[in-house]
Chains A and B, each alone.
Chain A
Amino acid sequence: MMIYDHILIRYGELALKGKNQRKFLNQLQRNIKYQLREFKHVQVKRTQGRLFVELNGHDPTPIVEKCKQVFGIYSLSLAIKVDHDLEAIKKAALYALQQSKDTHAFKVAVRRANKAFPIGSQQMNQILGAHLLKNTTRFKVDVHEPDIIINVEIRREATYITSSVTEGLGGLPVGTGGKTLLLLSGGIDSPVAGYLAMRRGVELEAIHFHSPPFTSERAKQKVLDIAKRLTVYGHTINVHVVPFTKLQQQIFQDVPDRYAMTIMRRMMFRISEAVCRRHGILSLTTGESLGQVASQTMESMNTINEVTNYPVLRPLITMDKEDIVAISKQIETYPISIRPYEDCCTIFVPKSPATRPKRKIANEYESKLPFESLIDEALNGIEIIQMTDEKSTEDFQGLF
């Protein structure tokens, strides 16, 4: 019986990476293997210029879905692997065409990478085209505007027949771009920023500022759930939960309302940089988008950024809110983000925060604040929670 027994993986951009290519490909292959680890018989294989998933009897649907979560994959296709045998190739091409839905006009595209195969690609196109026409009724050939292309790749080890192409996420394999610390509040923006950083091959750790009893366990859980959701893109994420109550209260007591938000953000950056140093992380990532709120004006960013010389990645900086929301829905962090719990950024919102805070003034206010010891205290109280994409949490063991 004829079935789709392979998935052919294309990785576009990676092919351009010269010397690094090997490293990128190894990482991509590792990431795919990791993503597919629940499918016992699946094999991920590499031949020149191509990655293949051997299904070995597994249903392709969930596997394709998993592959669609791996950065670095440009597109993928279900493939039938056959020997270099004309009859077998004909049979597989016919199967691929018959399996297609809502198609009428087809085109055959043969690529003969293996020149040992005796028939040239042009002649193969004709042979297969004729075979398909002869054995079907609802199809015609249209080489200019086909609604399905039957691709036949004659490679060294075998011949692969594919038809439909599913788009992948693109980007670069996670693990090839170093590590960043994502400031994760629980809102809509920061998870999207994390996602976009990951898309460029960057590994994530996350930091969250927790102010009990002003912010609840459920607000913290929400952040953990977001981090967990992001782990579907392929690795565990450590969430550094910082006890922030004391420092935050001190700020809101001693700093005039207008500057409280600015100073608070400066403290967050200081703590985040210290966490980076401890764990060998080389940059911060935030969900800031220019002009969205008081702390995200040009002046605010200038004043807040003064306290660190670590690079701060701001993947959303020029994006519109609608576009950010659209991505957050697509990556399914949106329903988590809109759960209605107070977080550290919403709990002490001053009535009229300065939209144009100055570095000089911020420094003056801070000089009166014993913040170093409070920062140390916060750093010492950090709880690191490792999130993985494993299914059930321990508390619920056995219930499912």
Chain B
Amino acid sequence: MMIYLDNSATTKPDPEVVKSFQQVSERFFANPSSIHQLGGESEQLLLEAKQQCAHLLHVEPEEIIFTSGGTEGNNLAIKGIAFEHRGRGKHIITSEIEHSSVYETCKALERLGFRVTYLPVDERGVISIDDLKRAITDDTILITIMHVNNELGSIQPIEQIGQLAKKYPKLYVHVDDVQGLGKVPFRLKASGIDLCTMSGHKIHGLKGTGILYAHKRTSLFPLFHGGNQEGSRRAGTENLAGAVSLAKALRLAKEKEQTEVKRMYELHHYMRSELKMIKHIEVNTPERAAPHIMNFSVPGLKPEVLIHMLGEKQIYISTKSACSSKQIDDHRILSACGYDESRSKSALRVSLTYDTTKEQINTFIDVLKDSINRLKEVME
């Protein structure tokens, strides 16, 4: 039996979600913008999807923008604010451990004349609110900070960041919640956060689906110009089947957030204590972390080799984030936490989901021990 422990890269779509997608694709194929009856039905359904998502997130329907996923959401939020409000200022604050879709977007904006501050993190992968306070200037228009780090599982104090930013009226706050959604709840509306990126395929939804929450008073410069879909913030015929399937995935994830997360934390603690007992292993994920991500290093071993050995037993884990794991010497995030090169380069990530079992974790630990022993023998 396969043991899939790479859920932070992507999850297996829930069959219910796939079913919704198929049903909508077959029954409601009309364009919601067409004025005939069929178009009307599609428009109704789209509104319903938006209302359901809004209800689940405790926000308003007009604040939901359906996107193609996390990368688009992050790009739309950051470039959207930067281009729309460049007259107010040209300074952006982010952190050193953002996902590449935030980090590279900021790098790109630097080439266009924006100034970006990359806040450092401590060894737990967390920024300091004092550093943030000091970084804010008259010229700052945006703070973009992730909620849960995709490699380490560390959690940023985003509610505090939102509260702090409230004191600066021209400052927008964007949160990349791709990894936190459905696992680490936070108060979106009450925290003064203006924008929040979510992705469908990390919560057992489909690839190509996502939401950018944008507070109703937040104006954005669109990435796509064209029709007036999504309040003219994202032109293009709506992916109706995707939107409906995402509403379902979100409902299921929110239900499981209530019922399963406690158990995931127990499993997470258990796995940490098991890993700590293995010689040569150093656990990188901090004590206070999301319940689904466990990062550790086996200094001296090439992580790829371990991945392939586990793969032979049909156990699937990953090196760092899938989006950058093919670039061999990219170990930006662990280095930012102050880990030395051998530890950063040999990092591995295990990521769980709601139905991961203790037996699966035990099997993984056994195979991992065995593999490390074999490799160390060869090397010594």
Contacts and interface: CB of A to CB of B under 8 A. Distances in A.
Interface of A: 61-62, 65, 101-102, 216-218, 221, 225, 332, 335, 341, 391-393, 395-396, 398-400
A393 B35 contact: no
Contact of B52 (A101, A102, A216, A391): A391
A221 B40 contact: yes
Given A65-B58, A398-B20, A400-B247, 8 more contacts: A102-B166, A217-B37, A218-B43, A225-B47, A391-B52, A391-B55, A399-B45, A400-B49
The 10 lowest CB-CB distance pairs between A and B, nearest first, are A218-B40, A399-B20, A399-B244, A400-B52, A400-B247, A400-B248, A217-B37, A396-B48, A101-B163, A396-B45
Most-contacted residue by chain B among A61, A335, A400 (CB, 10 A): A400
Interface of B: 20, 23-24, 35, 37, 40-41, 43-45, 47-49, 51-52, 55, 58, 60, 62, 163, 166, 187, 189-190, 244, 247-248, 251
A65 B35 CA distance: 35
A335 B62 CA distance: 9
B248 to A, nearest CB: 5
Nearest to A336: B47
A391 B40 CA distance: 18
A332 B48 contact: no
A102 B60 contact: no
Contacts of A218: 35, 37, 40, 43
A400 B58 contact: no
Given A61-B187, A217-B37, A399-B20, A393 B62 contact: no
A222 to B, nearest CB: 10
Contacts of B43: 218
Contact of B248 (A61, A221, A395, A399): A399
Contacts of A61: 58, 187, 189-190
Nearest to A339: B43
Contacts of B20: 398-400
Contacts of A102: 163, 166
A341 B163 CA distance: 42
Contacts of A216: 35, 37, 40
B173 to A, nearest CB: 15
A210 to B, nearest CB: 14
Contact of B23 (A101, A335, A341, A399): A399
A393 B44 contact: yes
Contacts of A225: 47
23 contacts: A61-B190, A62-B58, A216-B37, A216-B40, A217-B37, A218-B40, A221-B40, A225-B47, A332-B60, A335-B62, A341-B35, A391-B51, A391-B55, A392-B52, A393-B44, A393-B48, A396-B44, A396-B45, A398-B20, A399-B45, A399-B248, A400-B48, A400-B49
Given A101-B163, A392-B48, A398 B58 contact: no
B49 A398 contact: no
Nearest to A65: B58
B244 A400 contact: yes
Contacts of B248: 399-400
Contacts of A398: 20, 23
Contact of B251 (A62, A217, A221, A400): A400
Nearest to B189: A61
Contacts of B62: 335
Contacts of A332: 60
A61 B188 CA distance: 11
B44 A221 contact: yes
B23 to A, nearest CB: 6
Among A101, A216, A225, A392, find the residue whose CB has the most chain B CB atoms closer than 10 A: A101
Most chain B Cβ neighbours within 10 Å, of A332, A391, A396: A396
A216 B43 CA distance: 14
Contacts of B52: 391-392, 400
Contact of B41 (A101, A335, A395, A400): A395
Contacts of A392: 48, 52
A335 B190 CA distance: 23
Contacts of B51: 391
A399 B251 CA distance: 11
Contacts of B189: 61
Contacts of B244: 399-400
Nearest to B245: A399
A138 B65 CA distance: 40
Contacts of A221: 40, 44
B259 to A, nearest CB: 14
Contacts of A101: 163
A101 B37 CA distance: 50
A392 B48 CA distance: 7
A399 B24 contact: yes
Nearest to B19: A398
A226 to B, nearest CB: 13
A216 B35 CA distance: 9
Nearest to B47: A225
A102 B191 CA distance: 12
Contacts of A399: 20, 23-24, 45, 244, 248
A205 to B, nearest CB: 23
Nearest to A62: B58
A61 B57 CA distance: 11
A235 to B, nearest CB: 19
Contacts of B58: 61-62, 65
Specify which of A65, A221, A225, A399 lies most central, judged by the most chain B CB atoms within 10 Å of its CB: A399
A231 to B, nearest CB: 13
A225 to B, nearest CB: 8
Contacts of B23: 398-399
